[in-house]
């Protein structure tokens, strides 16, 4: 009986170890706060999509998105409301993209969307739909509604885009211009 109990204990310990490892791997794939692809997993998927688009000369666009007033929301309210705002923005992204599009949590209040088979015009339309969707989705609090705006930078693959990083840098620069213009806008890079 002691051997069975010892073996059972060993199996339980191994199972707990496997569960911990699975949780670690899930965090590499899924951002626990937003439920989106983590930055690590986004890059893994996006590199493959970039290579396919580049090789076959197919359209590919990237959107960089930043929540304009998240810092102010954290200061004025609390982290729970800030996290609720993040989830609303994520839901607005999900509602306005196709199942083939890749959406990831890039960093802090920044998100990245990769749109396979989408030219620049199509990507601008998606960006504008997401922007408007967020603006129409206030978060209710005890102190009233919190209105959120976002800024987006859009770029597409072209001759001057040798790799995914270059594509994202162009979208990031466009995002910077959108923020400079006061936010709540879409700019193309």
Strand partners, 146: 139
SS (H, E, C) 98-136: CCCCEEEEEECCEEEEEEECCCHHHHHHHHHHHHHHHHC
Run of H or E including 188? strand 186-188
Does residue 47 sit in helix, strand or coil? helix
Q: If residue 35 lies in a helix (H) or strand (E), which one and from where to where?
A: none
Q: What count of other Cβ atoms lies within 10 Å of the Cβ of residue 76?
A: 13
Give me the mean pLDDT over the 53-57 stretch. 94
71-88: per-residue pLDDT in tens?
899 999 888 899 999 999
Report d(CA 7, CA 10) in Å as an integer.
5
CA dihedral 90, 112, 134, 148 (to 10 degrees): 100
Separation of alpha carbons 150 and 69, rounded Å: 8
Please choose, from the candidates 43, 129, 141, the residue with its C-alpha nearest in 3D space to the C-alpha of residue 83. Answer: 141
Written as six digits, the tokens of 95 are 């509602």
pTM of the model: 0.85
Q: Phi first, then psi: give them for residue 128, nearest 5 degrees.
A: -65, -40
pLDDT at 11: 67
pLDDT tens digit sequence for 5-52: 777 777 677 767 666 765 565 566 788 888 899 999 999 999 999 999
Q: Which CATH code for domain 31-188?
A: 3.30.70.270
Q: Name, of 9-13, 57-61, 140-144, 157-161, the range with top average pLDDT.
A: 57-61
Taking all residues of the chain, what is their mean pLDDT, rounded to a whole number? Answer: 90
Q: What percent of the chain has pLDDT over 90?
A: 69
Please tell me the number of Cα atoms within 13 Å of 169 on its side-chain side.
7
- Predicted pLDDT at 1: 65
What is the model's pLDDT at position 27? 60
pLDDT for the residue numbered 123? 98
Binned at pLDDT 50, 70 and 90, residue 102 comes out as very high
In the chain, where are the structural domains located? Answer: 1-30, 31-188
- Are 113 and 101 in contact, with CB atoms under 8 Å apart? yes
| Cα(16)–Cα(70) distance, integer angstroms | 37
């Amino acid at each position: 009986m002691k051997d069975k109990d010892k073996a059972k204990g060993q199996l339980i310990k191994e199972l707990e170890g496997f569960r911990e490892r699975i949780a670690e791997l899930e965090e590499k794939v899924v951002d626990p706060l937003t439920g989106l692809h983590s930055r690590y997993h986004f890059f893994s998927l996006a590199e493959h999509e970039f290579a396919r688009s580049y090789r076959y000369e197919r359209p590919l666009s990237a959107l960089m998105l930043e929540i304009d007033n998240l810092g102010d929301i954290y200061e004025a309210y609390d982290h729970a409301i800030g996290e609720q705002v993040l989830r609303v923005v994520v839901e607005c992204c999900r509602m306005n993209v196709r199942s083939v599009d890749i959406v990831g949590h890039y960093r802090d209040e920044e998100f990245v969307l990769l749109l396979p088979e989408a030219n620049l015009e199509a990507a601008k339309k998606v960006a504008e739909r997401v922007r408007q969707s967020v603006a129409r989705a206030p978060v209710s609090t005890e102190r009233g509604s919190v209105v959120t705006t976002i800024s987006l930078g859009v770029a597409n693959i072209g001759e001057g885009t040798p790799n995914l990083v270059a594509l994202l840098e162009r979208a990031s620069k466009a995002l910077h211009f959108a923020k400079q213009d006061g936010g709540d806008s879409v700019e193309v890079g």
